[in-house]
Amino acid sequence: MLITLLTDFGLDSHYVAQMKGVLYDLADAPEIVDISHSVRPQNVRQAAFIIDQVVDAFPRDTCHIVVVDPGVGSARRILLARSAEQFLIGPDNGVFSTLLERHPPEWVREMTETRFWRKPTSQTFHGRDIMAPTAAHLANGVSPASFGASTMEWCVLTPHELKMGRDRLEGLVIEVDSFGNLISNIPAQFFSQLQTQSEIHSPVVTLKCCSGEAAAEIRVPIVSTYAEGQIGEKVALIGSGGYLEIAVVNGNAAESMAAQVGDRIVVSG
């Protein structure tokens, strides 16, 4: 079984290696892919964005383990879910809620069957002692129902603010990628609707930077790929993840525009 790991353990952490050791110890021939371990510490919202972005690239029956778990050791539940024909394992803190809204789950279970856990079970590292063993047993053919009872409720994150008017869209920068591209929460289909259903046929994107000494508003032309702009030019486009993003061609938009997560992005006529 293909098993992925998404955590906030930090780059190159030996905590990740311990989870992999447990997977190899308990599962028959696991294949393991790291999604990322650079989620900002305890940033459930960022992890929710990333798992939602990557899941469509993975094959059927992949098992994704997400360990961004500020509530470890508390009464928060641990979930096993089936969504997008794949398995999800992680704490019930909203980390799967973006994905589950887009791909409603076939089922969600609460992992309560302690017989599948690693012993002794630490109170501070459930990724290694509960989640990895569960993925391993699942890979070995244990039926999902064995791990705990079905549940109809799970934590849902408040969505990022997204306003759609007749001739205007307003969203936020929700992620800055490694190139400095500013990824918004404005989906491609909203953007298309604005163009087809409004009077606006050539919209403009405006970035409103909230940080820094003075608020800045920067207008950015819309292109369909980076290469349509000149090197160094600011452009807005639908990125590979299906959201509107602002980039600097062969440059770093976040740095050159002093922009960051939380800045507003407006599409208007």
Residues forming the site for a second copy (CB under 8 A): 2, 4, 8-15, 17-22, 24-25, 31-38, 41-42, 50, 53-54, 57-59, 62, 70-74, 122-125, 128-129, 177-179, 224-228, 237, 239-240, 250, 252
Buried-exposed string 131-148: b where 16+ CB fall within 10 A, e elsewhere = bbbbbbbbbeeeebeebb
Q: How many CB atoms lie within 10 A of CB 193?
A: 13
Nearer to a second copy, 3 or 169 (CB): 3
Q: Are 19 and 64 in contact (CB under 8 A)?
A: no
What is the smallest separation between the CB atom of 184 and a second copy, expressed in angstroms? Answer: 15
What is the smallest separation between the CB atom of 214 and a second copy, expressed in angstroms? Answer: 28
Report how far Cα 99 is from the mean position of its chain's Cα atoms.
Answer: 8
Nearer to a second copy, 44 or 79 (CB): 44
Buried-exposed string 53-89: b where 16+ CB fall within 10 A, e elsewhere = bbbeebeeebbbbbbbbeebeeeebbbbbbbbebbbb
Cα–Cα distance measured from residue 105 to residue 87, given in angstroms and rounded to the nearest whole number: 10
Strands 31-36 and 243-248: unpaired
Cα–Cα distance measured from residue 46 to residue 41, given in angstroms and rounded to the nearest whole number: 10
What is the smallest separation between the CB atom of 127 and a second copy, expressed in angstroms? Answer: 9
What is the smallest separation between the CB atom of 37 and a second copy, expressed in angstroms? Answer: 6
Nearer to a second copy, 58 or 190 (CB): 58
Nearer to a second copy, 216 or 261 (CB): 261
Nearer to a second copy, 170 or 236 (CB): 236
Q: Are 46 and 66 in contact (CB under 8 A)?
A: no
What is the smallest separation between the CB atom of 228 and a second copy, expressed in angstroms? Answer: 7
Q: Residue 183 class from Cβ within 10 Å (0-12 exposed, 13-18 middle, 19+ buried)?
A: buried
What is the smallest separation between the CB atom of 232 and a second copy, expressed in angstroms? Answer: 12
Nearer to a second copy, 37 or 208 (CB): 37
